[in-house]
Amino acid sequence: MSRVRVAIVGGSGYTGGELIRLLLFHPMVEISQVASGSQAGHFVHSAHPNLRKISTLRFCHPDDLTTCDVLFLCLPHGVSSGEIERYRTLAPRVIDLSGDFRLRTPDLYRRWYGHEHPAPELLSEAVYGLPELHRAELPEAALVSGTGCMATTSILGLAPLYRAGVVNQSIPLVLEAKVGSSAAGAKAGPSSHHPDRSGAVRSFEPTGHRHTAELIQELGQFEGGELQQMVAFSATAVEMVRGILVTAHVFLNENLEEKAIWRIFREAYQREPFVRLVKERNGVYRYPEPKILSGSNYCDVGFEVDREQQRVVVIAALDNLMKGAAGNGVQALNCMFGWDESLGLTFPGLHPV
């Protein structure tokens, strides 16, 4: 059986590097080209030293791309949408891991991204690439969007409760995401300068983060449209390289016992290959912990019930470069071609690390 030929644009960044690492070991895929405007002509391992002796691929210039079966776009936000028609002439199926096709209407891009979308006619066509919510749509999809790393963590933690209809939406949903430095990308800046970043616990977007739009959109599908509940989302940078930990406060419309909450989460995720329920009675890792998820495609979800306040505290964790980006993209690719979803994604993470 011939392998699917995959090319990657924007392969010199962190997400691109993870995608290369994963696809080099994918049994159904051949990487045909990896493009980078800044690294053209250089070996891939010059940007991704973990790939030494693993691959002899060299970066090509994006202008030198040829046709392939699937094209992954790992470009900064706002870039791929401006050139999407050209990219679609190179491959019948495109997976864009930026934020350019995540939201469904031009109005949402004006509100959350602050600009007009250059290809608004494609927004309704693009499938939001989270298999746990859109698995049935992926096999026929020609354009698949990436998902925001903090949005993915939050949505996977909260979706079972919204699907079950137990959330009191007259009370705001309050959640905070703590995120590692790699989420800001490979390009250096003042906030990533070591003397300023080391030891930091920095609130960098306490209100108005664009991933809020994805929560409203995706959780709203369980209500038949956009979520009407107020969502108060805050983002905090902490001293780790990989990982996201989301803590969400969800108030219920009835005072459910813990076993009822367990039932809701088990029914939602018992057949999901990459969502694990983590809630132990004791031990250091009794709740989700991003540290042990580094390099894996798992999202760990836990909770604690506060019956006095009729509240569930949902805790979710993942690796922002894996389930929050490249790994989730490969999982979506597997769904698109009807393959086992775990192909190329079986690494379990490390402990200790």
Beta strand pairing call for 173-179 and 70-73:
unpaired
- Which residues fall in the annotated binding site for NADP(+)? 12-15, 320
Listed as ranges, residues in the chain with pLDDT below 50 are: none
Burial pattern 77-107, b for ≥16 Cβ within 10 A else e, equals eeebbeebeebbeebebbbbbbbbbbbbebe
Helices 258-269/149-164 angle, 10° precision: 120
Task: Give the pLDDT confidence score for residue 94 in this predicted structure.
Answer: 98
Q: Please, where are the H alpha helices in the chain?
A: 14-24, 44-47, 84-90, 106-112, 131-134, 149-164, 194-197, 211-220, 258-269, 326-336
What is the Cα–Cα distance from 246 to 36, expressed in whole angstroms? 33
Torsions phi, psi of 77, nearest 5? Answer: -55, 135
Q: Which residue has the tokens 């859109």?
A: 134
Element (H, E) at 251: strand 244-251
**What are 279's two structure tokens?**
């809630």
Q: 4-147+325-337: what fold?
A: Rossmann fold (3.40.50)
One-letter identity of residue 101 = F
Q: What is the pLDDT of residues 235-248, one digit of tens each?
A: 999 999 999 999 99
What is the Cα–Cα distance from 59 to 33, expressed in whole angstroms? 7
Listed by start position, the domains of the chain span 4-147+325-337, 150-318
Helices 14-24/326-336 angle, 10° precision: 50
Which residue in 60, 74, 149, 335 is the catalytic one? 149
Task: Give the pLDDT confidence score for residue 193 in this predicted structure.
Answer: 83
- Name the 3-class secondary structure at 241: coil
For 280, residues 6+ apart whose C-beta sits below 8 A from its C-beta are 286, 287
Q: What is the pLDDT of residues 64-76, one digit of tens each?
A: 999 999 999 999 9
Q: What is the pLDDT of residues 135-188, one digit of tens each?
A: 999 999 999 999 999 999 999 999 999 999 999 999 999 999 999 999 888 888
Task: Give the pLDDT confidence score for residue 280 in this predicted structure.
Answer: 96
3.40.50.1240, 3.40.50.300, 3.40.50.1370, 3.30.360.10: which CATH number matches 150-318? 3.30.360.10
One-letter identity of residue 348 = P
Rg from Cα positions in the chain: 20
Give the N- to C-terminal CA distance of the chain in Å, as an integer.
38
- Name the 3-class secondary structure at 260: helix
- Which residues fall in the annotated binding site? 12-15, 320
One-letter identity of residue 32 = S
For 33, residues 6+ apart whose C-beta sits below 8 A from its C-beta are 7, 8, 60, 64, 65, 66, 68
How would DSSP label each residue in 19-85?
HHHHHHT-TTEEEEEEE-TTTTTSBHHHH-GGGTTT---BEE-GGG----SEEEE-PPTTTGGGGHH
Task: Assess whether 68 carries a catalytic annotation.
Answer: no
Q: Which residue has the tokens 């001293």?
A: 239
What is the Cα–Cα distance from 111 to 105, expressed in whole angstroms? 10
Measured CA to CA in angstroms, residue 276 lies from 163, 175, 285 at distances of 18, 20, 13
